[in-house]
Chain A
């Protein structure tokens, strides 16, 4: 609902608007003004995409995430700080409130600056665990950059991230290797469906504390692909929170840097960090994966309305979205879905192996059907399903609940009454062969009654009775 209003606003604002489906105001929290120049290409990319970027230091007393109780910014980008915490204006509590208000956050970490405990406790709220040693970083002796980290192996070179599941869209694929220098690894909790890994560490990676480099590694915090380099959290209100383990991946130095994997036959190649940074920020700041529901319609699919595909052509004759149906009615349901892609609404298609599903439910679903794509317009696709209403009367919902990782959630509920057969909608007794003896009985009674009345009224007394009367007279 909020998104739809925002989308309308966006259409009104036209060219002035940001390319984000949500809003253009972006707050960047960075400690040192001098650091800003290290990320100049990233800032330029954000500003090109229409974001109004505000830079503030966490120590700045004018820094506030809220103005008059509403979020002052649509998006927040937090760079790592040397200080022990993020200050009184960016407490974990305020940041969680900011997420609850629907705003998006990109949190970058760096293993070169120890991670503040405020950040660790904030991430724990989201079930993301950081290593207990503040300086721990990910190392991989198999996938490192030989040109910059030949000795320390702490610049990871990873191929384009794969979707973590088959039925999830991949918004982060890039051509080429991505460099992650000095990465803070994260471990995701297993219970929450809101968390999803974006970039996982390779299976030979592990986390260690460089201060204990020369000691034996007996107790590792996490190993292999259980470590996440980039992880994403999407709240129930579709607010997005992305944790990037390596802030240096956003630096100009690593955009188009030349890197080389170890091993014979590996060539030097350019990093794809620029494309990855663009995609990661685009997803976090809702330039990607935002869903919108257009029109939702349902109608009776029987009698004169049977098989009507184009609802607008029939016009007023067609009864769209009635409030009441009867049990066992055939109905047609369709929903229009669009997905925001960088700068426009495009027809939405779920990932292969995934399906948009319609539930017809009263407390629990009576039907759950995969909606099929039936039509497409320039910026939306129409999904529909046809089914017979259940033989149970009551108050039902046409319910489309579509929650998937990396996509904003959709909940469309249309409530209708499903009534029982009216008394004159049942089949008549004369078409039921089992009723013939009873119908026959009624006719026999009717005819018998009429004849009985006639006989009772007009019968002449029988002969023996008269003889009896005559005998009486004689006596």
Chain B
């Protein structure tokens, strides 16, 4: 029997007739009023328990939203233990409830200003969903219905302070290391042109020397006078370049230095003999 009654209640929840054992409200009105607006300046709308308001209400920064209603159990006004205006922010799912102050006869009111709202509500891009929850102890069916939408109009000059998000243990965005750019060469054509220009300096130099009368005519004379000294000295000059070439390609410094030393000693000793021969030629007026 009892369950039958409850079945009937569930079916009639949306009907206008409030049955004995079901919580609802009547004489409900909602108004948004500012301090500047007078008594008549407030916008006021009627709320019905069965259908939400179609257009969203706007709540400007300085104004306050006021809901007045009479909670009823069945058709008589009675104080419900729980009479909440619940605001729900659809993107974050955050909910905040504002209790009505209800008198013994069921008359209740609640006032909400932007100061009462958490910052998530103030920064929400979508309108908040407001619902009315009226319930109490006992077996009467509780009431919980969407009543209206509320869009928050924040003051552009005084934007709400958004605190930095609290620390949570979660995976963090990936970091991919940005490498410095590799060193680049200029276009190969330019390098080639300048290489050719540098290489062309050698024939130019040799040509200039030839014009000035440079020759190797005394080579036989010099080698006849002191063949060993000249051979070793000129050989050591070439060998030194060879050592440098090996250092550039395969050797390290510790392999190159003894070789430089050895070639240097040979060059020094043979060089002093060879240059003596050159001096003899000079003194003989052949240079």
B174 & A167 in contact (Cβ 8 Å cutoff): no
- The yes or no answer to A345 lying at the interface (CB within 8 A) is no
Give the residues from 361 to 405 in chain A that come closer than 8 angstroms, CB to CB, to chain B: 365-370, 387-388, 390-391, 403-405
Q: How far is the CA of A45 from the CA of B180 in the complex (A)?
A: 61
- Nearest chain A CB to B269 CB, angstrom units: 16
B188 & A191 in contact (Cβ 8 Å cutoff): no
Interface size of A by Cβ–Cβ distance < 8 Å? 79
B6 & A141 in contact (Cβ 8 Å cutoff): no
B179 & A191 in contact (Cβ 8 Å cutoff): no
- Nearest chain A CB to B91 CB, angstrom units: 15
- Nearest chain A CB to B56 CB, angstrom units: 21
B170 & A461 in contact (Cβ 8 Å cutoff): no
Which among B173, B194, B219, B230 is the interface contact of A437 at CB below 8 angstroms?
A: B194
A365 & B175 in contact (Cβ 8 Å cutoff): yes
Residue of A nearest to B237 (CB): A453
- The yes or no answer to B185 lying at the interface (CB within 8 A) is yes
Do A434 and B97 form a contact, CB below 8 Å, given A457-B274, A461-B286?
no
Do A191 and B167 form a contact, CB below 8 Å, given A225-B95, A368-B175, A434-B186?
yes
- The yes or no answer to B37 lying at the interface (CB within 8 A) is no
- Write out the residue numbers on chain B whose beta carbons fall within 8 Å of the beta carbon of A153: 137
- Write out the residue numbers on chain B whose beta carbons fall within 8 Å of the beta carbon of A150: 138-139
Give the residues from 392 to 430 in chain A that come closer than 8 angstroms, CB to CB, to chain B: 403-405
B144 & A142 in contact (Cβ 8 Å cutoff): yes
- The yes or no answer to B258 lying at the interface (CB within 8 A) is no
Inter-chain contact total with CB atoms closer than 8 Å = 193
A433 & B185 in contact (Cβ 8 Å cutoff): yes
A459 & B205 in contact (Cβ 8 Å cutoff): no
Of the stretches A29-37, A53-61, A88-96, A210-218, the one at the interface is A210-218
Give the residues from 179 to 196 in chain A that come closer than 8 angstroms, CB to CB, to chain B: 190-193
- The yes or no answer to B117 lying at the interface (CB within 8 A) is no
- Write out the residue numbers on chain A whose beta carbons fall within 8 Å of the beta carbon of B274: 457
- The yes or no answer to A159 lying at the interface (CB within 8 A) is no
A203 & B95 in contact (Cβ 8 Å cutoff): yes
B97 & A357 in contact (Cβ 8 Å cutoff): no
- Nearest chain A CB to B167 CB, angstrom units: 5
* Per-residue contact bits, chain A 446-457, to B (CB 8 Å; 1 contact, 0 not): 111111011101
- Write out the residue numbers on chain B whose beta carbons fall within 8 Å of the beta carbon of A191: 166-167
A193 & B166 in contact (Cβ 8 Å cutoff): yes
Residue of A nearest to B179 (CB): A391
* Per-residue contact bits, chain B 169-213, to A (CB 8 Å; 1 contact, 0 not): 111111111011000011010011011011101100110010011
- Write out the residue numbers on chain A whose beta carbons fall within 8 Å of the beta carbon of B142: 141-142, 204
Of the stretches B59-67, B80-88, B148-156, the one at the interface is B80-88
Pairs across A and B, CB under 8 Å, 27 listed: A141-B137, A150-B138, A151-B137, A151-B139, A152-B137, A203-B86, A219-B99, A223-B96, A223-B97, A224-B86, A264-B9, A264-B10, A265-B7, A265-B10, A357-B172, A391-B179, A404-B169, A436-B191, A436-B192, A444-B202, A451-B206, A455-B209, A457-B234, A457-B274, A459-B217, A460-B286, A462-B212
- What is B's interface to A at a CB cutoff of 8 Å? 3, 6-7, 9-11, 79, 81-84, 86, 88, 95-97, 99, 101-103, 133, 135-139, 141-142, 144, 166-177, 179-180, 185-186, 188, 191-192, 194-195, 197-199, 201-202, 205-206, 209, 212-219, 222, 230, 233-234, 237-238, 241, 244, 274, 278, 285-287
- Identify 14 new A-B residue pairs, CB closer than 8 A, beyond the known A448-B205, A450-B238: A142-B144, A192-B167, A217-B81, A225-B95, A357-B171, A432-B185, A434-B185, A436-B191, A444-B201, A450-B237, A454-B234, A455-B216, A457-B278, A458-B222
Give the top 10 A-B pairs by smallest Cβ distance, nearest first: A462-B213, A141-B135, A434-B185, A460-B217, A264-B10, A368-B175, A223-B97, A437-B194, A458-B219, A440-B198
